[in-house]
Amino acid sequence: MRKIVKLMSVVITLLIFIPFTQVNASSKTEDIIKMLEQDVKSFDGKLTYESNNIQIDWVYPNSNLTEVSFPYKGSVIEYNSGEIKTYEEAEKVTSHSIFFMYLIEATLKVNGYSDEQIESFFSSDESDFSYEKNGMEIKNIGEEKKFTSIDGLSTITVAPIQIRIDVAKANIGTSDTSTGAKTTTVSDVINYLQSDSEFTTTMYEGKKIYENEIIDNEDSLIIYHTYYWDDYYSLNFNCEDDIITYEDTAIETYGDAEIAQSHHFFAQQIISSALKLNGYTTEEINEYLSSSENSFDYEKNGIELKILGENKEYTSSDGRSKLYVFPISFKIDLNKANIDKNDSKTIYKVLEGDNQTVGIGKKLSFRFNIEFLKFKETGKVYIDGELVDPSKYVLKEGSTIITFNDEFVKTLSAKEHIVKVVVDDGEVETKFTLINNPQTGDNIMFYVSMFVLSVIGLVSTGLYTSKKINE
């Protein structure tokens, strides 16, 4: 029994002096997922990763702008559609009809009529848009016809129209207006609509649906109508053993082309993130991706982008948008992704601090065999591919010593990082690992507990020994 108690006390006592290290091991895949999550969030999207599948559900905002123009002279606004020949022209006539009703309502309000009076006028079967009587006119000047969109999915039935309103005389046949001696002008109507929030912006569930801008163009009143909507896409990349792959299936419709184009966009994001993880700077990556001479050679770069078919044109259902897309296959090995620059730049050396492990809040310093003056004139420092502002580190001579500020180090995650120093004729790269300081926070409680246990163990041993001696 004595031996067991002594052994426990020795083991517990030793635990106090054995430093504990928190391991923050993470694969390249996990690092890529974290980086992509930030990109996806910027598009109001969500990323999920399970069963070797990266799924990105994201929203692509779209908008459509329509211009509606009403010529005017003096106080009279008018519009004549003329003959309607196409679906697009039929859409314009419909838009003019809708916004003419806005102009009527705004004019009547400026002329002193209440919402109840205006609503009663519009809803009454006996209401008449007589230009002589009401100063307002909307009438058909031709036969009603049906027009079909290019894709055959939408139809509009409309007749050519003539629209006219004298804003100074517009009335609904009642005598209780309050305009007094003031004569309403087109500018008054424009100003009223510009200040009417219900006209300028329409919101639904916190999102902007419609937006209207009305301007005075001297001889015409112009309304710019913007309709907003969101396209929702679900994208999938296969990921196994730090290798991510994707291949386009048949692209037959405009919708297929949008999904393919979205995959192509995020394939580039994956390439960019992988190269950052592997120590390349943002400038190097952008230059590589934008260069017409770059190669996506899987054997050489660990990156593959293959074109599987010809570049084709796809038209949206309303005929207004076109996409040119070719099918691709994509493959990247996160561990091998690199930029083959084939240059003769000097690879400098790390003299002190190579592959070091430090606690957050501790000194993080490196010494490189780079001429001090050369670094002062042309040097840049990158961590995980992001340029570090010179205010974040202290520079000393001998050859070149870089010591990062404690406050800056505290902003970095507890994991492995890549630091890269670049000068005009070369570069040097090394890694460092940050760990949570074991002497802070909850760890203190752990060591206090261990100390208490060891004291108890030692006291127990002493009592047991004393008892035996007394016996």
Q: Does the predicted TM-score (pTM) go above 0.75?
A: no
pLDDT for position 100:
93
pLDDT for position 154:
76
Q: Number of structural domains, the chain? A: 4
Q: Tell whether the model's pLDDT for residue 174 goes beyond 60.
A: no
pLDDT for position 438:
56
399 cis-preceded (ω within 30 degrees of 0): yes
CA nearest neighbour of 79 among 87, 67, 88: 67
For 226-270, write each residue's pLDDT tens digit.
988 777 889 999 999 999 999 998 899 888 998 999 999 999 999
Cα 406 from Cα 314, distance rounded (Å): 54
Which residues in 241-377 belong to E strands, given as ranges? 243-247, 303-307, 312-315, 322-325, 328-333, 346-347, 350-352, 356-359, 364-368
pLDDT for position 469:
44
Co-location of 173 and 158 in the same domain? yes
Query: By the 8 A CB rule, do 56 and 235 touch?
Result: yes
Residue the block writes with tokens 């006390």: 9
Residue the block writes with tokens 């015409």: 220
Q: Tell whether the model's pLDDT for residue 442 goes beyond 70.
A: no
Co-location of 171 and 317 in the same domain? no
In a domain, 360, yes or no: yes
Most distant CA pair in the chain, distance: 127
pLDDT for position 177:
44
Co-location of 114 and 188 in the same domain? yes
Query: By the 8 A CB rule, do 152 and 320 touch?
Result: no
In a domain, 17, yes or no: no
Co-location of 269 and 285 in the same domain? yes
In a domain, 23, yes or no: no
For 355-399, write each residue's pLDDT tens digit.
999 988 789 999 999 999 999 999 999 998 889 999 999 999 989
Question: How many C-alpha atoms does 375 have within 13 Å on its Cβ side?
Answer: 24
Residue 427's domain spans which residues?
Answer: 346-433
Co-location of 210 and 176 in the same domain? yes
pLDDT for position 271:
93
Q: Which residues pair with 139 in a beta bridge?
A: 162
C-beta neighbour count of 346 within 10 angstroms: 13
pLDDT for position 228:
83
Co-location of 67 and 211 in the same domain? yes
pLDDT for position 180:
44
Residue 459, burial from CB neighbour count under 10 angstroms (0-12, 13-18, 19+)? exposed
For 300-339, write each residue's pLDDT tens digit.
889 998 889 888 989 877 666 788 898 999 999 999 998 8
Mean pLDDT of the residues in the chain: 82
Query: How many degrees, rounded to 5, is the angle at CA 367 between CA 361 and CA 370?
Result: 140
CA nearest neighbour of 221 among 65, 68, 64: 68
pLDDT (mean) for 150-156? 74
Which domain-ending residue is among 194, 212, 230?
Answer: 230
327 or 297, which is more confident: 327
Q: Tell whether the model's pLDDT for residue 284 goes beyond 60.
A: yes
For 399-430, write each residue's pLDDT tens digit.
999 999 999 999 998 999 999 999 988 899 99
CATH number for the domain spanning 402: value is: 2.60.40.10
- Residues contacting 328, CB < 8 A, separation 6+: 247, 248, 260, 264, 267, 305, 306, 307, 308
Which domain-ending residue is among 177, 202, 230?
Answer: 230
